[in-house]
């Protein structure tokens, strides 16, 4: 009897589960699976979009690994970008979110102001202002001159520092991460803080013993997403530096896009894409694996 | 006594000073765009450091910009963007919500496998997917209709699914269990327990979704060929041609106009982030 | 309760889709032209008059979109059986979209085409040969100089009907020259005179002598190489067209000298200048003496500075005429089009009709039909007239043979050239090394693309 009831319960759960994910599943099969499989196929071909793809086996991958210094360069640039941007951005977003999670006046205004960069993100205006800010006559140079540092080449024209202008552009757009942290902060039960206050905890203890642990699922989420998005970054370098100077800001996806549409080299571009997916998958897996050591879930249901 | 009083008065001042300074840097490019939309074309780049125009051209820029492209006014583009963003957001958030609930609270066969697929879709660059997607839509005869921009969102979005999964996992299972004992089925647990607690996440997703769809350029570029169905992001791009005279004043004017709805939506929805229903949590 | 919520949700979804569908039916301003009377079975003298819808696409800015739409309406009035579906676009993304359409076999009938891409599209048989329509007299190119017609010919097929022509020029600011006490350029000035002038301007006025883009296209380099009787690309486009690396080395050295002396902006300074529109170029604002540009530059910035003049680019000491008349843009017809004849007829009208060209008013470049040029002269502004005169001068006295269209892979070669120039200007390579590396990279790229 008990077994039958359990089987029936499982059956209903299975059905419920699939009904709930049905729209997503349908979309996945139609709009993702087929294109993904196509692009995997294209990666083994010579395809310029205008004509039928021609099968060439592993040639694209061979060229990538042994005959394409730009591939390695863009990979290096992208790794550097991710490892610099993600911690900075998360730390900043968390800091500001905690700061704004108080009862001060004009909070809504500040929140809106901090989110604006994410809204204007990819616009022509940003690309122009950013270049001028870090340019020869820009705000930054004037400031440096004031404190006595003299720079020959502007930050944005210097192959060593140009990547930092792009990183800063990413950090500047921390608004979206901040919003997510704010939402998560709102979810932490007030009762926890109240009990802590009764126990005599100070601000720092409240932060480290209550806020941080309760936030770890969201920190985890932001970490995964920001890492994935970091590897996929495109617009920033596309509109501000077009990958220059000397390819020092050539993000991987920008190179991929150029291969596909500017050089009519779609097959090779698909190969690049799947190498990227592989790399992101490995990084994501590492972060997922690390969950058990530092992420605290209220609900202990399966991971 | 005096010290702590000073401290108390100082705290808000420091707070506002810091927050406002950071805020200014955040907002500066937008201010620049607004200022440029007020300037005459000849002045925009020549006098780019000053936020105050020497030669005002507000009416000129805004009316020229509003005229739009080929007889289609900018209002049409705004309407298209609005329809696509609003419907796409409704569909996307709704669908993702349901899927997220399933992935986090419903035990079904293959759950982990499909969740992995969700994560994988986040990793593949859009640029290589767009041409096969275009061909699929063409076969379904959905090209050149706004539906082609809206329908994909009704299949949910990996980002929102993942986000809500994480939020839901922050909700104690004991609440679910209590409700089950009271005789609730899976779906009513969703509506009565989970959904109310998910409001901040839903508000966040709504804001993100609306904004992302609003400013997406690549998708409408490839899928739309009739100007009357163009979205704002696409239309703005048509004001620029590097080889001929581009009307930057009009472009910036319309950029300002196109950013306003998103800001308005944000201001409307952000209070849901603030007034997220406080959980009573567990007793004891 | 479960059932109620589910059905509520599904109703919501259906409702939203319904609303989306309804909005399509709403009549928004359409770019439709005059309704066709041909539906009633009216016939015309010329060939078939069955109603035809031509799809057409072009890039440009707001001005171009507006007047082109007017032109389409005008044509439909005169040819009621023809209606248009147009897709205007900005330059960015235009060719991305075209590639996607080619892959999906949905290319528009009439396509505005650029010199950079025409070879690739032709070699892949995605655009049609228009010579049959020329011989059938549907596409009338009799009034266009043959050399210009041939700029659209690849592998013996005419895949691009030339719409406008232009040529390289040196727009200069006479005021800056006067300020520096440097004599204005003469039509036969040499590179040494050019360098002298640029350095003098820098010395006397602290302004740039010459502030121009040398990185995003190969045109200046092409000009330079042509002065030695060679071309950048070989005839068949599978390798470089010049053997002596010293040619490129000399070019690099000149750029290096000018940059180091401050007469030319550094790559980094140029990058910031380039972010602003053409109206803010140093030559226009009086912060530089000269630059290299296409002949319509004076017209583009006329509203901001109407006093610029156009000079013939400098000569090498060997006196070879290296200038060439470049096609501004083409109209091509998709190979997949089922209305090729009608498309060709429209293109013919676009090129030859005087009323139409009065509306176009040189916005797409200098018209190629001689009757049209004559008819336009009375309505031209000062700079437009100067542009016409310049092109006549260039064509008659300073131009060499026409340059073939860019071969497949040229975009990548351009990037390779920019990389090498940058490495030299940033002091990371010697010009000799850069020239050799460029040869290696370019040949590899061209060979790989020739296989396609």
Q: In this predicted model, what pLDDT tens digit does every residue of C93-137 receive, in sequence order?
A: 899 999 999 988 899 999 999 998 999 999 899 999 999 999 999
Q: Please state the rounded mean pLDDT for residues B19-45.
A: 84
Collect all residues with Cβ–Cβ distance below 8 Å to B1 and sequence separation of at least 6. none
Instruction: Give the minimum alpha-carbon distance from C204 to chain B in angstroms, rounded to a whole number.
Output: 23
Collect all residues with Cβ–Cβ distance below 8 Å to C128 and sequence separation of at least 6. C159, C332, C333, C334, C335, C337, C340
| Token couple for B244 | 């001929």
Chain C residues with beta carbon closer than 8 angstroms to that of A46: 451-452
Chain A residues with beta carbon closer than 8 angstroms to that of C269: 136, 154, 157
Alpha helices in chain A (DSSP H): 2-27, 34-42, 59-66, 69-100, 107-120, 124-133, 139-146, 162-172, 175-187, 190-198, 203-206, 212-231, 235-240, 252-257, 266-294
List of chains touching B (3+ CB pairs within 8 A): A, C
pLDDT digits (tens, 9 = 90+) for C373-397: 999 999 999 999 999 999 989 988 8
Is the CB of A114 less than 8 angstroms away from the CB of B187? no
Q: What is the C-alpha separation between B72 and C30, in angstroms, rounded? A: 7
Cross-chain CB nearest to C304 (options B42, B48, B67): B42
Q: What is the C-alpha separation between A200 and C120, in angstroms, rounded? A: 74
Q: What is the C-alpha separation between C333 and B220, in angstroms, rounded? A: 24
Residue C167, phi then psi, degrees to nearest 5 = -150, 160
User: Is C265 at the interface with chain A, CB within 8 A?
Assistant: no
Smallest CA–CA distance from B77 into chain C, residue: C28
Collect all residues with Cβ–Cβ distance below 8 Å to B107 and sequence separation of at least 6. A10, A13, A17, A302
Q: Please state the rounded mean pLDDT for residues B78-84.
A: 92
User: Would the pLDDT of B279 be above 60?
Assistant: no
Cross-chain CB nearest to B146 (options C20, C68, C86): C20
On average, the pLDDT of chain A sits at 85
Is the CB of B70 less than 8 angstroms away from the CB of C63? no
Q: Please state the rounded mean pLDDT for residues A175-195.
A: 84
Q: Which residues of A touch C (CB under 8 A)?
A: 46, 48-51, 127-128, 131-132, 135-136, 153-154, 156-159, 241, 244-247, 261-264
Q: What is the C-alpha separation between C130 and C341, in angstroms, rounded? A: 9
Residue % of chain C over a pLDDT of 70 = 89
Smallest CA–CA distance from C417 into chain A, residue: A246
Least confident span in A19-28, A145-154, B257-266, C304-313? A145-154
Chain A residues 149-208 with a CB less than 8 Å from chain B: 172, 175-176, 179-180, 182-184, 186-187, 189-192
Q: Please state the rounded mean pLDDT for residues C235-251.
A: 90
| Token couple for B23 | 């805020």
* pLDDT for residue C20: 35
User: Would the pLDDT of C63 be above 60?
Assistant: yes
User: Would the pLDDT of B45 be above 60?
Assistant: yes
Is the CB of C61 less than 8 angstroms away from the CB of B244? yes
Which residues partner with C151 through β-bridges?
Answer: none
| Token couple for B156 | 């949910």
Q: Please state the rounded mean pLDDT for residues C219-225.
A: 92
Residue % of chain C over a pLDDT of 90 = 54
pLDDT digits (tens, 9 = 90+) for B216-261: 888 888 888 888 889 988 888 888 776 667 788 888 888 888 888 8
pLDDT digits (tens, 9 = 90+) for C84-105: 999 999 888 899 999 999 988 8
User: Is A126 at the interface with chain B, CB within 8 A?
Assistant: yes
SS (H, E, C) chain C: CHHHHHHHHHHHHHHHHHHHHHHHHCCCCCCCCCCCCHHHCCCCCCCCCCCEEEEEEEECCHHHHHHHHHHHHHHHHHCCCEEEEEEEECCCCHHHHHHHHHHCCCCCCEEEECCCCHHHHHHCCCECCCHHHHHCCCCCCCCCCHHHHHHHEECCEECCEEEEEEEEEEEECHHHHHHHCCCCCCCCCEHHHHHHHHHHHHHHHCCEEECCCCCCCCHHHHHHHHCCCCCCECCCCCCECCCCCHHHHHHHHHHHHHHHCCCCCCHHHHHHHHHCCHHHCHHHHCCEEECCEECCHHHHCCCCCCCCEEECCCECCCCCCCECEEEEEEEEEECCCCCHHHHHHHHHHHHHCHHHHHHHCCCCCEECCHHHHHHHHHHCCHHHHHHHHHHHHHHHHHECCCCCCCCCCHHHHHHHHHHHHHHHHCCCCCHHHHHHHHHHHHHHHHHHHHCC
Q: What is the C-alpha separation between C423 and C451, in angstroms, rounded? A: 30
On average, the pLDDT of chain C sits at 85
Chain C residues with beta carbon closer than 8 angstroms to that of A50: 99, 102-103, 120-121, 124, 126
Smallest CA–CA distance from B251 into chain A, residue: A124
Asked if A165 and A134 touch (Cβ cutoff 8 Å), the reply is yes
Q: Please state the rounded mean pLDDT for residues C426-451.
A: 91
Q: What is the ipTM of this complex?
A: 0.81
Chain A residues 26-85 with a CB less than 8 Å from chain B: 26-28, 30-32, 34-36, 38-39, 42, 49
pLDDT digits (tens, 9 = 90+) for C160-202: 999 999 999 999 999 999 999 999 999 889 999 999 999 999 9
Chain C residues 354-393 with a CB less than 8 Å from chain B: 363
Asked if C121 and C113 touch (Cβ cutoff 8 Å), the reply is yes
Residue C153, phi then psi, degrees to nearest 5 = -100, 125
Residue % of chain A over a pLDDT of 70 = 93
Cross-chain CB nearest to A153 (options C121, C268, C451): C268
Least confident span in A129-143, B27-41, B131-145, C232-246? A129-143
DSSP letters spanning B206-247: HHHHHHHHHH--HHHHHH---GGG--HHHHHHTT--TTS---
**Chain centroid, CA C19 distance in Å:** 42
User: Would the pLDDT of C293 be above 60?
Assistant: yes
Q: If you search the block for the tokens 């319509």, which residue do you land on?
A: C296
pLDDT digits (tens, 9 = 90+) for B169-213: 878 888 888 888 888 777 788 888 888 888 888 888 888 888 888
Q: Please state the rounded mean pLDDT for residues B146-154.
A: 84
Cross-chain CB nearest to A128 (options C267, C275, C422): C275
Is the CB of A34 less than 8 angstroms away from the CB of B123? no
* pLDDT for residue C30: 35
* pLDDT for residue B183: 80
User: Would the pLDDT of C25 be above 50?
Assistant: no
Task: Please state whether beta strands C82-89 and C52-59 pair in parallel, antiparallel, or not at all (unpaired).
Answer: parallel
Q: Please state the rounded mean pLDDT for residues B5-31.
A: 81
User: Would the pLDDT of B277 be above 80?
Assistant: no
pLDDT digits (tens, 9 = 90+) for A189-228: 888 888 888 888 887 888 888 888 888 888 998 899 899 9
User: Would the pLDDT of C41 be above 60?
Assistant: no
User: Is A140 at the interface with chain B, CB within 8 A?
Assistant: no
Chain C residues 94-153 with a CB less than 8 Å from chain B: 96-97, 99-100, 103-104, 106, 108
User: Would the pLDDT of C34 be above 50?
Assistant: no
DSSP state letter for B267: H
| Token couple for C322 | 């290296």
DSSP state letter for A261: I
Is the CB of C268 less than 8 angstroms away from the CB of A264? no
Which residues partner with C210 through β-bridges?
Answer: C290
pLDDT digits (tens, 9 = 90+) for B88-103: 999 999 999 999 999 9
* pLDDT for residue C19: 34
* pLDDT for residue B148: 84
Which residues partner with C158 through β-bridges?
Answer: C153
Q: If you search the block for the tokens 């590897």, which residue do you land on?
A: A231
User: Is C203 at the interface with chain A, CB within 8 A?
Assistant: no
- Taking Cα atoms as reference points, which of B111, C75, B156 lies closest to residue A18? B111
**Confidence tier at C9 by pLDDT (50, 70, 90):** very low
- CB count in 10 Å sphere of residue A294: 11
DSSP state letter for A207: I
Asked if B153 and B89 touch (Cβ cutoff 8 Å), the reply is yes
User: Is B208 at the interface with chain A, CB within 8 A?
Assistant: yes
Q: What is the C-alpha separation between B72 and C66, in angstroms, rounded? A: 10
* pLDDT for residue C367: 92
Is the CB of C6 less than 8 angstroms away from the CB of B187? yes
* pLDDT for residue C440: 94
Smallest CA–CA distance from C96 into chain A, residue: A261
- Chain C interface, mutation test: which of A41, A263, A268, most C Cβ atoms within 10 Å? A263
**Confidence tier at B2 by pLDDT (50, 70, 90):** low
* pLDDT for residue C253: 94
Q: If you search the block for the tokens 């592998």, which residue do you land on?
A: C155
* pLDDT for residue B48: 66
Q: If you search the block for the tokens 């400013």, which residue do you land on?
A: B215
User: Is A268 at the interface with chain B, CB within 8 A?
Assistant: no
């Amino acid at each position: 009897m008990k077994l039958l009831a359990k089987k029936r319960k499982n059956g209903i759960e299975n059905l419920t589960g699939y009904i709930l994910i049905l729209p997503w599943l349908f979309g996945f099969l139609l709009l993702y699976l087929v294109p993904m499989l196509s692009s995997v196929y294209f990666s083994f071909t010579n395809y310029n979009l205008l004509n039928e793809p021609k099968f060439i086996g592993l040639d694209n991958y061979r060229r990538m690994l042994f005959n394409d210094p730009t591939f390695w360069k863009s990979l290096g640039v992208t790794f550097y970008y991710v490892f610099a941007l993600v911690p900075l951005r998360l730390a900043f977003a968390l800091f500001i979110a905690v700061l704004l999670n108080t009862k001060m006046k004009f909070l809504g205004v500040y929140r809106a102001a901090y989110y604006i960069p994410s809204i204007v993100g990819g616009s022509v205006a940003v690309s122009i202002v950013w270049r001028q800010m870090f340019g020869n006559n820009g705000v930054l140079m004037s400031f440096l001159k004031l404190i006595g540092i003299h720079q020959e080449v502007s930050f944005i024209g210097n192959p060593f520092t140009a990547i930092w202008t792009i990183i800063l552009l990413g950090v500047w757009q921390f608004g979206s991460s901040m919003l997510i942290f704010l939402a998560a902060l709102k979810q932490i039960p007030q009762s926890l803080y109240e009990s802590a206050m009764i126990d005599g905890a100070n601000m720092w203890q409240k932060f480290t013993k209550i806020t941080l642990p309760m936030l770890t699922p969201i920190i985890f989420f932001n970490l995964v997403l920001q890492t994935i998005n970091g590897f996929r970054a495109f617009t920033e370098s596309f509109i501000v530096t077009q990958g220059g100077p000397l390819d020092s800001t050539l993000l991987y996806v920008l190179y991929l896009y150029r291969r596909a549409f500017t050089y009519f080299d779609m097959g090779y571009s698909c190969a690049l894409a799947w190498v990227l997916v592989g790399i992101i998958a490995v990084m994501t897996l590492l972060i997922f694996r690390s969950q058990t050591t530092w992420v605290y879930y209220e609900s202990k249901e399966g991971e | 006594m005096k010290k702590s009083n000073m401290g108390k008065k100082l705290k808000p001042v420091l707070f506002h000073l810091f927050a406002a300074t950071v805020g200014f840097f955040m907002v500066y490019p937008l201010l620049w765009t607004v200022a440029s939309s007020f300037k005459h074309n000849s002045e925009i780049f020549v006098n780019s450091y000053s936020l105050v125009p020497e030669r005002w051209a507000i009416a000129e820029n805004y009316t020229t910009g509003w005229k739009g492209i080929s007889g289609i006014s900018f209002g049409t583009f705004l309407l298209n963007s609005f329809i696509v963003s609003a419907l796409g957001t409704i569909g996307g958030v709704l669908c993702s919500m349901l899927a997220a609930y399933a992935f986090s609270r419903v035990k079904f066969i293959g759950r982990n496998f499909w969740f992995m697929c969700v994560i994988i879709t986040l990793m593949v660059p859009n640029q290589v997917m767009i041409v096969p997607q275009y061909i699929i839509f063409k076969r379904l005869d959905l090209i050149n209709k706004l539906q082609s921009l809206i329908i994909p969102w009704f299949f949910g979005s990996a980002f929102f699914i993942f986000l809500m999964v994480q939020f839901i996992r922050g909700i104690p299972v004991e609440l679910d269990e209590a409700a089950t004992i009271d005789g609730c089925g899976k779906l009513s647990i969703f509506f009565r327990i989970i959904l109310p607690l998910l409001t901040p996440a839903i508000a966040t997703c709504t804001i993100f979704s609306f904004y992302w769809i609003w400013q997406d350029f690549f998708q409408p570029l490839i899928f739309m060929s009739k100007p009357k169905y163009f979205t704002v992001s696409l239309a703005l791009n048509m004001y620029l041609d590097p080889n001929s005279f581009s009307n930057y004043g009009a472009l910036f004017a319309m950029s300002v106009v196109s950013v306003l709805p998103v800001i308005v939506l944000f201001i409307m929805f952000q209070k849901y982030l603030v007034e997220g229903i406080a959980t009573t949590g567990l007793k004891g | 309760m479960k059932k109620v919520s589910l059905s509520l949700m599904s109703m919501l979804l259906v409702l939203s889709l319904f609303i989306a569908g309804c909005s399509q039916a709403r009549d928004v301003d359409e770019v439709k032209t005059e309704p066709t009377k041909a539906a009633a079975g009216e016939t015309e003298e010329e060939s078939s008059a069955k109603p035809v819808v031509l799809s057409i696409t072009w890039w440009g800015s707001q001005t171009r979109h507006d007047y082109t739409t007017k032109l389409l309406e005008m044509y439909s009035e005169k040819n009621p059986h023809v209606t248009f579906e147009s897709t205007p676009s900005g330059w960015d993304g235009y060719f991305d979209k075209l590639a996607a359409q080619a892959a999906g076999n949905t290319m528009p009938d009439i396509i505005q085409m650029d010199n950079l891409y025409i070879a690739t599209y032709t070699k892949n048989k995605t655009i049609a040969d228009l010579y049959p329509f020329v011989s059938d007299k549907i596409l009338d190119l009799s009034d266009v100089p043959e050399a210009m017609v041939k700029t659209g010919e690849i592998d013996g097929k005419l895949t691009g009907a030339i719409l406008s022509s232009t040529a390289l020029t040196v727009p200069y600011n006479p005021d800056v020259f006067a300020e520096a006490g440097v004599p204005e350029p003469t039509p036969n000035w040499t590179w040494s005179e050019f360098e002298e002038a640029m350095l003098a301007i820098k010395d006397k006025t602290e302004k740039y002598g010459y502030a121009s883009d040398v990185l995003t296209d190969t045109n200046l380099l092409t000009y330079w190489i042509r002065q030695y009787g060679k071309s950048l690309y070989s005839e068949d486009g599978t390798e470089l067209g010049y053997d002596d690396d010293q040619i490129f080395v000399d070019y690099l050295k000149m750029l290096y000298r000018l940059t180091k002396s401050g007469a030319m902006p550094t790559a980094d300074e140029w990058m910031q200048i380039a972010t602003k529109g053409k109206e803010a170029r140093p030559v226009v604002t009086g912060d530089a003496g000269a630059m290299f540009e296409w002949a319509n530059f004076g017209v583009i910035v006329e509203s901001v500075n109407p006093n610029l003049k156009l000079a013939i680019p400098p000569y090498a000491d060997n006196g070879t005429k290296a200038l060439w008349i470049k096609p501004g843009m083409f109209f091509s017809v998709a190979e997949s089009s089922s209305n090729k004849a009608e498309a060709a007829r429209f293109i013919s009208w676009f090129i030859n009709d005087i009323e139409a060209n009065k509306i176009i008013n040189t916005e797409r470049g200098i018209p190629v039909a001689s009757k049209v040029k004559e008819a336009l002269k009375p309505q031209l502004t000062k700079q437009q007239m100067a542009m016409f005169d310049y092109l006549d001068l260039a064509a008659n006295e300073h131009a060499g043979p026409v340059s073939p269209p860019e071969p497949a892979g040229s975009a990548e070669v351009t990037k390779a050239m920019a990389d090498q120039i940058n490495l030299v200007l940033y002091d990371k390579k010697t010009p000799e090394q850069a020239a050799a590396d460029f040869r290696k990279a370019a040949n590899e790229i061209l060979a790989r693309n020739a296989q396609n």
